[in-house]
Amino acid sequence: MSTTLTGYRYTWWRGDTLPNLAPLANWHVEYVLDVPLLASLQHLYVQAIEARVQAGHRPYVAFLQGTPVAYGWVATQTERIAEWLEWPLGVYDRSFWDFTTLPAWRRQGIYPRLLQAILRVEAAEAERFWIGHTLDNVASRRGILKAGFQPTLLGAPTAQGPTRWVLQGDRERALADPMARHLNILEAGLANEEGAQD
């Protein structure tokens, strides 16, 4: 499975600093269990939203001047990529996934502020937070770094086919990544270039 998985991984741990981001007027973030609202925002069936909540995923919505402008999910039990790969999370691990800023509200710095707002809430009970994106998603990379996450792994395809995993930051943190443990990424020696640049 790991041979076909590519992208960037990042982490933030309780006690890490959060960069100062200028406040947005009339802005707030809520943990929202309004299923019809979530279904409408995400263009999903109500049953799909309910299934996510029942599986331990927590939905957050950002509001600007009372209007929902972005959303994202926090996994508390398992992390999944597509339909073909899933792994368990530790009690103190959280994974961020399926974040979207609605088109009319993009390029206003909403994404990193939403990430930080959720970190502040979830850090009351969790210690380690994980997030990733595909290789070509430059906007996500920019927002994640701006929010204060640290890079851990880069998974890139090779000419031979298998993914080459390269350490991007602190090895201890990369070793703690539930995805890396599940796929035996570091133990298999696929990420052995400390300090490698992307």
Type of residue numbered 35: V
Residue 198 has a pLDDT of 42
Residue 163's pLDDT is what? 80
Q: Which residues contact 19 (CB under 8 A, 6 or more apart)?
A: 146, 147, 148
Q: What is the pLDDT of residue 74?
A: 98
- Please give the pLDDT value at position 158: 81
Q: What is the rounded end-to-end Cα distance, in angstroms, of the chain? A: 23
pLDDT, tens digit only, all 198 positions of the chain: 444 678 999 999 999 999 999 989 999 999 999 999 999 999 999 999 999 999 999 999 999 999 999 999 999 999 988 667 889 999 999 999 999 999 999 999 999 999 999 999 999 999 999 999 999 999 999 999 999 999 999 988 887 877 888 899 899 999 999 998 888 876 555 444 444 444
3-state secondary structure 13-36: ECCCCCCCCCCCCCEEEEECCCHH
Q: What residues does 181 pair with on adjacent strands? A: none
Handedness of CA 119, 123, 125, 126 (dihedral sign): positive
* Token couple for 4: 């076909």
Q: Which residue has the tokens 């959060």?
A: 18
2-183 topology per CATH: Aminopeptidase (3.40.630)
Element (H, E) at 71: strand 67-75
pLDDT in the model for residue 85: 83
